[in-house]
Amino acid sequence: MGDISKLKSLTLILMGMLLMVFGCSQNETDENKLAFPDDLPNFIKESDFETVDWNKKAVMFNGNMMGNIKKSGVIGANMPSLNNNQKWMWHLWGIDSIGETKLTVVGLHRETNSIHPILTSGWTMNLGGENNGADAHIPSSVNIPVPGEWAMLLYTDEKLFDILIFEINE
């Protein structure tokens, strides 16, 4: 009788451990899942976020611009931008249809895996002409809701154009 009781106890312990392992891995999956806002433009794909390289940080160039040299850069990204309407000026290289090209900016917060609009005017705006050596530019007002590492996914005419990685803590 003692052996059967031990076997039942051992079985219950093993089943409990399996439930804990399965439950923990299920929670981990839920925590890593992207939170898509309801109003996110429909051309944004989950696979776009899988291309984010958090090690490819934006660098300072042209004296006051942060970004990826000769691809995209922002004046103002090194200024305090948390929870205030900070002015940023976006610059893009390799844009042919100036005045007709739309820029969409999508922010991904690394720690929370949440997606946010960064522009205070909505997700998308029309790009303007040449400025500061770039083929196109546009001033904007931005609001970064929480501190931390941010991936700014830039889309031109509904196609992923570039990804800027910023550390924004103030």
Q: What is the pLDDT of residues 8-66, one digit of tens each?
A: 555 555 555 544 544 443 344 445 688 789 999 999 999 999 999 999 999 999 999 99
Q: Which pLDDT score, from 0 to 100, does residue 166 have?
A: 96
Same domain as 50, residue 3: no
Residue 124 forms part of a structural domain? yes
Q: What is the pLDDT of residues 112-130, one digit of tens each?
A: 999 999 999 999 999 999 9
Same domain as 6, residue 69: no
Same domain as 83, residue 111: yes
Report the domain count for the chain: 2
Task: Tell me the three state secondary structure of residue 149.
Answer: strand
Cross-strand bridge partners of residue 151: 108, 165
Q: Are 116 and 145 in contact (CB under 8 A)?
A: yes
Cα–Cα distance measured from residue 156 to residue 119, given in angstroms and rounded to the nearest whole number:
15
Q: CATH no. for residue 89? A: 2.60.40.3830
Same domain as 118, residue 58: yes
What average pLDDT does this structure show over 65-89?
90
Report residue 81 as tokens.
Answer: 């931008």
Range of the domain at 106: 46-168
User: pTM value?
Assistant: 0.80
Phi-psi region of 99 (alpha: psi -120 to 50; beta: other; left: phi over 0): left
Same domain as 27, residue 51: no
Same domain as 139, residue 81: yes
**Reported confidence tier of residue 5, pLDDT bands at 50, 70, 90:** low
Work out the burial of residue 15: count CB atoms within 10 Å of its CB; fewer than 13 is exposed, 13-18 middle, 19 or more buried: exposed
DSSP state of 63: T
